[in-house]
Amino acid sequence: MALTFDDGPNEPFTSALADVLAERDVRATFFQVGMAAARAPDVTRRLVADGHVIGNHSLTHTFSTCLRTSAIADEITQTQQILGDITGAAPSLYRPPWLLRTPGLFPVLDRHGLRAVSGQFCHPLEVMQPAAARIARTAVARSSPGQILIFHDGFDGRGGFRGRTVEAVRVVIDALRADGYDFATVDELLGIPAGAPRA
């Protein structure tokens, strides 16, 4: 299975999550918002140093932008640049905000060598931050071999409390391990490169 985290970086939650993943020796995939990464490049760099994979999740995470091909193309291009500058490799994975796939999106992704990645939301109300045990129970129930599970360490690329998600992830990893699951990054799961090194 692949654990994925959207909308960050968002401190202190992204670093708290990185600590949990490091303690349990799990590598994950973070779909980051370009503007948020530009504000906290050290957090993104630490994730890469820990062996996690960084994907593109737009520049501003704005609903209206996702509906206009020229605007989203611009956001994707700028975010490839920002994440490439920070990590040294342009991402090969893109997760559309709200998983919105418009017909104009795919030629843009092709130009950047990006693969669109969706997945299964861990809990329908994660954004409201219900008790960690509830998030964890639903996330485990929704898990299956080869599944890509979606959590949020950020909130639309802005700040927001994500403490329950961090707590839940600890429980989810232990429960899934007990069920015999291993964890892979999304590129490993799909059998594609994690990113193209910058010249």
Contacting residues toward Zn ion, per CB under 5 A? 6-7, 97
Output 152 or 164, the one with its CB closest to Zn ion: 152
The DSSP symbol for 129 reads -
Output 101 or 198, the one with its CB closest to Zn ion: 101
Pick from 142, 74, 128, 65: nearest CA to 97 = 65
Instruction: Classify burial at 1, counting beta carbons within 10 Å of its beta carbon; exposed 0-12, middle 13-18, buried 19 or more.
Output: middle
Output 100 or 192, the one with its CB closest to Zn ion: 100
Output 39 or 177, the one with its CB closest to Zn ion: 39
The DSSP symbol for 197 reads E
Query: How crowded is residue 121: how many other Cβ atoms within 10 Å of its Cβ?
Result: 18
Least Å distance between CB 52 and Zn ion? 17
CB 58, CB 93: distance < 8 Å? no
CB 176, CB 140: distance < 8 Å? yes
Output 30 or 196, the one with its CB closest to Zn ion: 30
Least Å distance between CB 7 and Zn ion? 4
Least Å distance between CB 197 and Zn ion? 26
Q: State how far the Cα of 127 lies from the Cα of 152, in Å rounded to an integer.
A: 8
Least Å distance between CB 30 and Zn ion? 11
Output 113 or 160, the one with its CB closest to Zn ion: 160
Least Å distance between CB 61 and Zn ion? 6
* Segments of the chain assigned E as strands: 2-6, 29-32, 53-56, 89-91, 93-94, 115-116, 120-121, 148-152, 195-197
CB 14, CB 154: distance < 8 Å? yes
Least Å distance between CB 134 and Zn ion? 21
